[in-house]
A = this chain, B = another copy of it.
Amino acid sequence: MAYEPAQPIAPLPVPDRLLMGPGPSNVHPRVYGALATPVPGHLDPVYLGIMDDVQALLRYAFQTGNRHTLALQATGMAGMEAVFTNLVEAGDRVLVCVNGFFGGRMCDIIERLGGEALRLEVEWGQSIDPEAVRQKLRQERAIKAVALVHAETSTGVLQPLEAIGALCREHEALFIIDCVTSLGGCPLQIDAWGVDAAYSGTQKCLSCPPGLSPMTFSPRAVEAIGKRRGRIPSFYFDLTELFKYWSEARVYHHTGPISMMYALREALRLLHEEGLEARITRHARNAALLIEQLGSLGIAPFARADVRLPSLTTVRLPPGVEDAAVRRHLLNAYNVEIGGGLGPIAGKVWRIGLMGYTSHPRNVYYLCHALRAILC
């Protein structure tokens, strides 16, 4: 046959990495077991039961009673796209708080849809001041939604949500959040904090491989979708169709990504077994240990203590240290991955994740041992 691969394709290489970067994090062994579980049909009653379980467990993870809670059939980035594709149409104005990479990405998507992204920008590494949001909401007319990133993976900053949620209610704007790096690892109260639309990923604090996007929508968000002037430009991300698929009607929309749904179900069962509070405490404790241990190597945190993410710690590179060379050395000699900086802080910070299964003292001690050996 023509078009043969130029080189022979070897059996799958299996490096046993310790994933301490900005994600993916290490997958829990039970989740690998779920991935390797025999696949049924996507309309099989057994699989439909799996979807019900995922939905119930996601409501627990998000702390919400939202009926419209689901795992979108694509990666976390698709969650961002699905939210805006359904809630924004030509002429809609969205206030986007930008304090890192992913806020910028939101603006790109809004503009592709013909919407207007009003940027409230602060320096990378800072959090958003609710007072600034209040001023924007007062100054500008007809802001349909306020969007921000709860846990900025590019900077390690956790954004307090409650005050901004209250402002959105007051000004009748929808409150949209990206919680890719916070779900299952940081305090997150969708209902209590007045969040209307939230999306996440599976590959951070849930100890599951990347591939799905957990999402939830308040009744206000669902109502806003129902009031659109034009059609939703996407079929694949049309939430009105997806809500029918993720309800008792189970109206066929796509062939479900069955193995990934198995994996997510097991990851969420692990979260529920451990308990959200215990999980959050574990993340906080191990992040504190990391900062303490790195301190003894002369490595200091980048984000301010009061807005520091427990799932992802950014630290300043010690003077004279070569960023890429150290990370390559960690990967090749120790099988440990950590992340470099992005955008304006590239080469200035490292991003060290302790998420889900990776959030364990043994990993903190091993990384610090390796860094000591390389740097000292």
Contact = CB atoms under 8 A, between A and B. Distances in A.
Interface of A: 1-7, 9, 12-17, 19, 21, 23-24, 26-27, 32-42, 44, 46, 49-50, 53, 56-57, 59-60, 62-65, 73-78, 81, 85, 105, 108-109, 111-113, 191, 201, 203, 209-211, 231-237, 253-260, 262-263, 265-266, 268-269, 272, 275-277, 331, 337
A12 B262 contact: yes
A277 B3 CA distance: 13
A63 B3 contact: yes
Contacts of A77: 235-236, 253-255
Contacts of A49: 13
Nearest to A332: B45
Number of this chain's copies in the assembly equals: 2
**Residue with the highest number of chain B CB atoms closer than 10 Å, among A9, A75, A191:** A9
28 contacts: A1-B60, A2-B63, A3-B62, A4-B60, A12-B37, A12-B50, A17-B44, A19-B41, A21-B41, A24-B255, A27-B38, A32-B35, A36-B36, A40-B337, A41-B337, A73-B74, A74-B236, A75-B254, A77-B235, A77-B255, A78-B254, A109-B235, A113-B233, A203-B255, A209-B260, A210-B255, A211-B257, A233-B234
Given A78-B236, A231-B112, A337-B44, A39 B14 contact: no
A259 to B, nearest CB: 4
Contact of A19 (B39, B253, B266, B331): B39
Contacts of A263: 259
A261 B37 CA distance: 17
Given A201-B255, A255-B77, A5 B234 contact: no
